[in-house]
Amino acid sequence: MTPGLSYLLASVTCSVAVAAMLKLARRWQVDVRQAIMVNHAVAALLCWLLLRPDPATLLTPQTPWAVLLTLGLLLPSGFMAMALAVRHAGVVRSDAAQRLSLFIPLLAAFLLFGEPVSARKLGAIALAFAALFCLLRRPARTGEAPGPGNHAGTDVAPGRALWMWPLAVWVAYGLVDILFKQMARAGTAFAGGLLLAFALSSALMLAYLSWRRAAWAPRHLAAGVALGAVNFGNIITYIRAHQALPDHPALVFASMNMGVITLGTLVGALVFREPLSRLNGLGLALALAAILLMAPW
């Protein structure tokens, strides 16, 4: 296997592993808020150690602090939405919603930044919205919330939570993507912006938890270290995949997004026994088609 494909496989695995860890947090009695706070601190540290941002570029008059502060709020909020989504709607829908969020910045490019509209991109957006509709529909038979002895751990809930939290994931991650693009437009280096965003996210989450008088416990913090390592593993291996395959950005883009949806479906269905209807299956197929159509071939 070539280095580029190895990085892609590792990135896909890390992305789905994040969702699986959030899914297991309730069973392991982990306070997800504390884990998310430590996750961002670990990601900031690993960003500093591995991406080595230039300190001179971090604090300049051009630093877009409003964008960074908004990211500091949105990143942990998106993680919390993801935790609630995998708990109530399952890994399959949550991972698919996260990957479909890439169409929000595409819409923003048309509506806010004056990017030319093309039939291919409009078709991809239409497929993405159709996929989201199908994915968020309640399956014909929903599993009951698990009792202590339910080994499968299926936690798919009926009603509003089934679609509300994946929809929140879709919106939150889409807005995060727009804000990172705004940072790039402001001239902020990627590594430096990522470091500042993670550091601010951790600091704001720490302030929130202190205000809420959270009951700190080592297992919550240890879970956050593991979550942060896997989360940053997803980021760094995705970057390395692009670096290893510089002439094939479409391959990296499509393989990453389709790989996460495919592996997330397998993990959700086989490991967590999440119920899916035929309409949900159609939604997954439409999501894959939208990503293929969107890829910059």
Confidence of residue 185 (pLDDT cuts 50, 70, 90): confident
pLDDT tens across 210-228, in order? 999 999 999 999 999 999 9
Confidence of residue 276 (pLDDT cuts 50, 70, 90): confident
Chain CA centroid to CA 286, Å: 19
Q: Is the CB of residue 194 less than 8 Å from the CB of residue 51?
A: yes
CB contact set of 185 (below 8 Å; sequence gap of 6+) = none
pTM equals: 0.89
Is 145 within a domain? no
Hey, what are 199's tokens?
């550091």
Is 149 within a domain? no
Confidence of residue 24 (pLDDT cuts 50, 70, 90): very high
pLDDT number for residue 4: 84
Confidence of residue 118 (pLDDT cuts 50, 70, 90): confident
Top-confidence residue, 147 or 199: 199
pLDDT number for residue 139: 61
pLDDT number for residue 264: 96
Nearest by Cα to 9 from 259, 271, 269: 259
Hey, what are 97's tokens?
């919603």
The answer to whether residue 158 scores a pLDDT higher than 70 is no
Is 232 within a domain? yes
Q: Is the CB of residue 217 less than 8 Å from the CB of residue 31?
A: yes
Is 146 within a domain? no
Which residue reads 């982990």 in tokens? Answer: 30
Which range of residues forms the domain containing residue 203? 3-140+154-294
CB contact set of 104 (below 8 Å; sequence gap of 6+) = 170, 171, 173, 174, 175, 177, 178
Hey, what are 41's tokens?
């601190």
Q: Is the CB of residue 280 less than 8 Å from the CB of residue 135?
A: yes
pLDDT number for residue 261: 96
CB contact set of 142 (below 8 Å; sequence gap of 6+) = 156, 157, 158, 162, 275
Segment 75-87 mean pLDDT: 96
CA distance 24 to 267: 12
Is 207 within a domain? yes
Is 126 within a domain? yes
Q: How many domains does the chain have?
A: 1
Is 75 within a domain? yes
pLDDT number for residue 54: 84
Is 128 within a domain? yes
Say what the alpha-carbon torsion angle 189, 195, 198, 201 is, to the nearest 10 degrees.
-80
pLDDT number for residue 296: 65
CA distance 200 to 221: 18
